[in-house]
Amino acid sequence: MLASFGAFDPYCGRAVPAELTGYLLVATPRLVDPNFERTVTLILDHGAHGALGVVLDSPGGVDVGEILPPWRPLAAGPAEIFRGGPVASNALVGLGRLAGEPDPETAPAGWRRVVGDADPVGTFDLAVPPVPTLVAVRVFAGYAGWDEGQLEDEIASGSWFVVPAEPCDALDPEPRSLWARVLRRQGGRWALVAAHPEDPSVN
């Protein structure tokens, strides 16, 4: 599928960003690692040290209320703890949306914006009780991590498309179809990749 479209362009026609915080990694059909096949990963932090993100489209089947009862009323549906990645699966990462612009006095503890300006989405400390400015949250068990230069090598080898995230992606109510929908909104030849069968032998 990818070869038929000519030279591989992981940035879908966009300029290469200086850093990838707030971008999505969309698995290409070349990526067959079971941890990431047909996934969408939001990059939470990226720099010379490497990168860290969470997989957005893998609900884990455990209700948020079973592990973190105070956060259950704010959990965006499906209100499950998502599988954020293969690293430190016993560690919980919180992503939340704020109502309006962040204010240091009213933002949740440990708040760090990831994507969006109005009603932004960012990470926060799950160990501290909810605050009124948080309107929706999603909890992830584990994360995805890359050492210095590792992610860049994977992108260059054809494992990932790299596209800007939209604030709605992080808390999408239909996560299992997110991969195809993110590809379709890129348009052109990248939208066609969304039709790539899970089993190429069926094509």
DSSP secondary structure letter of residue 132? T
The 3-state DSSP class for residue 49 equals: coil
Task: Specify burial of residue 121 (Cβ count, 10 A radius: 0-12, 13-18, 19+).
Answer: buried
The structure's pTM equals: 0.94
Domain ranges in the chain are 3-195
Q: Residue 72 is which amino acid?
A: R
Residue 21 CA to residue 179 CA, distance in Å, equals 19
Asked if 50 and 146 count as a contact pair (C-beta separation under 8 A), the reply is: yes
Beta-ladder partners of 42: 24, 54
When comparing pLDDT for 1 and 192, which is higher? 192
pLDDT greater than 80 at residue 150: yes
pLDDT interval class at 199 (50, 70, 90): low
pLDDT greater than 50 at residue 159: yes
The average pLDDT across 25-41 equals 96
CATH topology of domain 3-195: VC0467-like (3.40.1740)
Task: Specify burial of residue 196 (Cβ count, 10 A radius: 0-12, 13-18, 19+).
Answer: middle
Asked if 197 and 203 count as a contact pair (C-beta separation under 8 A), the reply is: yes
